[in-house]
A and B are shown apart, each in its own frame.
Chain A
Amino acid sequence: MAALVTLRNVKKSYVRGKQKVEVLHGVDLEVEAGEFTALMGPSGSGKTTMLNLMAGLDQPTSGEVIVGTDRIDKLSRSALTDWRARNIGFIFQFYNLLPVLTAEANVEVPLLLTTLSRSQRRQRVQTALQLVGLADRAKHKPNELSGGQQQRVAIARAIVSDPTLLVCDEPTGDLDRENAEEIMNLLKALNRSQGKTIVMVTHDPRAAEYATRELHLDKGRLSREEVRHVA
């Protein structure tokens, strides 16, 4: 299968105060289309930085980042913004829903950037909410929903524009075991039945078990890889 995401000799460093911090030291990686990849490793190992680079939220200091046919490390800030809107679905640890909007309005936000009509947007929002099992909570605001429900709304928002790649940063980090399992089953279903390519950063080994591939990062380098066949 062809690689959807390719990282070639990617290095990333930050300047914090007067100090230069090397986060990634020449990472090479390929993620195939349809894969569910879990990125694991201790805090500060560079997991989130790598995820940000794949999602076009940040640019590498050197190296190549290719997603699909796009060399995104070469894109300008505004081109990268447009690219993200078309290609990436984001799921965060703390859901990051807009508290003043209802669930359906939150899910609709990425679609505001498209040329879809209002009725087309509504149709898509409904479908996404049905897919995550929250069609009956469409009119509720985030503070009227449980943590698990809020994360499901965030997943609906991530998939509503049918992105090429779903990136998840600790999606179960703020949830109890039961809700975490529900979210992971939902991501698994999206991967297995909808064919979504998912890259997920997690500290939780139980969450990582849902992935088809497990990558371990340590001090900015890929240290270990595990491929598993999950039913």
Chain B
Amino acid sequence: MKYFGLIWAGLWRKKARTIFTMLSIVVAFLLFGLLQGINQGFNQAVQNLNLDRLYVSAKSDMTDGLPIAYLERIKAVPGVRAVSYWSYFGGYYQNSNNALPAFATDAEQLFKVYREIKVNPEYIEAMQRTRTGALVSDQLAKQYGWKVGDRIPVGTSIWTNKEGSNTWYFDIVGTFDLSAFGAGFPSFYLNHAYFKEAAAFGDGVVHYYLVGLDKPTLATQVSKQIDTMFENSSYETRTQTESALFQMQMKQIGDINFIANAIVGAVLFTLLFLTANTMMQSVRERTSELAVLKTLGFSDTKVLALVLVEALLLCVFAAAMGLFLASLVFPALKPIFGDFKMPLVVVGFGAGMALVLALVSGLPPAWRARQLNIVDALAGR
């Protein structure tokens, strides 16, 4: 601790250079924290997905849909606890920029499949009583200022109703808490029965059957049974677990893990050279000062440690700043990932990376300082 003043003063010998180096480390670790955090967020989201839920869609393509008649047959499969379904409605509010993740469903059964969604049972009853009813997430209601009792117009470019209009009217009958899920999760539900009756075409086609299981261990067995049941029919099915479906959707965006690692790797590799160069330059400029320290009785090891600790201070402090800033950004990503904080594993990995960066960039100049010959250095040789 008594050497701290000496190390600190050495670190700020060239203020501008130290600040710029520090800023580059801060930015690099901010990027590292965000990308690795998002990457971990996806992984965490996959892990958090329920293994006791299955999604059944048309084998050929999800958009082809499945007949509503499959409902009772799926329900009858042993191990199935509850079944609901989604028909993609799409839609927008006021203008096409305000897209709504709207789905036609059987709300009562839906909340039995998704038991982690918090909803007032009175709202479910209201939904069953009101053919044109709609249940919306708290967040969506807040976003558009909707209240229970409001009648809202929803435009759609897909579904024309039997009146020949592309604008449908729904009555908000309740809200639900969707904080356990991310932004992509459907947050506007309308009655499937009404949708089937009022749509000019489609006959209430179902895009996904949502199957709740008695226990997660039944997932493989039930999936197989459902797909076998509809094999060789006009509408063959593909049954997937929630995590398999999520991962498949993610792959359509790209290999996030690879992209995140590639960017972070490139940034840290560049940073390594930058920091090593700064430290090397700093030590080279201080050759005579380090020789003086050795003259006064600082051992080779102490001089090595002084330089190394200086590199550690620079890297660890700046990295901590970068990770801290990244953690501040995370709440802003809540709409995408749901309730999500920077994973501790990212902080730990970041601290490890900062240590490695400090050691790799600090060791060559520290070793050079250790090997310094006093007589030659004082003579300027």
Contact = CB atoms under 8 A, between A and B. Distances in A.
Nearest to B12: A100
Interface stretch (B135-143, B289-297, B350-358): B289-297
Given A96-B288, A109-B6, A112-B6, A82 B297 contact: yes
A80 B143 CA distance: 75
Interface stretch (A84-92, A177-185, A218-226): A84-92
B67 interface: no
B289 A90 contact: no
A62 to B, nearest CB: 18
B295 A100 contact: no
Interface string A83-122: 0111000101000101111000100011011000010000
B349 interface: no
A100 B293 contact: no
Given A52-B375, A58-B375, A112 B295 contact: no
B296 to A, nearest CB: 5
A118 B2 contact: yes
A86 B3 CA distance: 18
Contact of A113 (B9, B12, B297): B297
Contacts of A69: none
A30 to B, nearest CB: 24
B300 interface: yes
A146 interface: no
Q: Interface residue tally of chain A, by bracket?
A: 20 to 34
A100 B6 CA distance: 9
B346 to A, nearest CB: 35
A216 B201 CA distance: 115
A181 to B, nearest CB: 26
A105 B9 contact: yes
Central interface residue in B2, B3, B10, B295, by most chain A CB within 10 Å: B295
A109 B6 CA distance: 8
A110 B297 contact: yes
A138 B325 CA distance: 39
A113 B298 contact: yes
B345 interface: no
A194 interface: no
Nearest to B289: A98
A105 B293 CA distance: 13
B11 to A, nearest CB: 9
A58 B378 CA distance: 12
B336 interface: no
Contact of A84 (B6, B297, B378): B297
Interface in B7-41: 9-10, 12-13
A101 B6 contact: yes
A84 B298 CA distance: 9
A78 interface: yes
B187 to A, nearest CB: 59
A98 B296 CA distance: 12
B292 A98 contact: yes
Given A96-B292, A109-B293, A81 B298 contact: yes
Nearest to A157: B296
Interface of A: 52, 57-58, 77-78, 81-82, 84-86, 90, 92, 96, 98-101, 105, 109-110, 112-113, 118, 157
29 contacts: A52-B375, A57-B374, A57-B375, A58-B374, A77-B300, A78-B300, A81-B297, A81-B300, A84-B296, A84-B297, A85-B297, A90-B296, A96-B378, A98-B9, A98-B292, A99-B13, A99-B289, A100-B10, A100-B12, A100-B13, A101-B5, A101-B6, A105-B5, A109-B6, A109-B296, A112-B3, A113-B296, A113-B297, A118-B2
The 3 closest A-B pairs by CB, nearest first: A85-B297, A100-B9, A96-B292
Given A82-B297, A109-B296, 8 more contacts: A57-B374, A58-B374, A58-B375, A78-B299, A84-B296, A98-B292, A100-B9, A109-B6
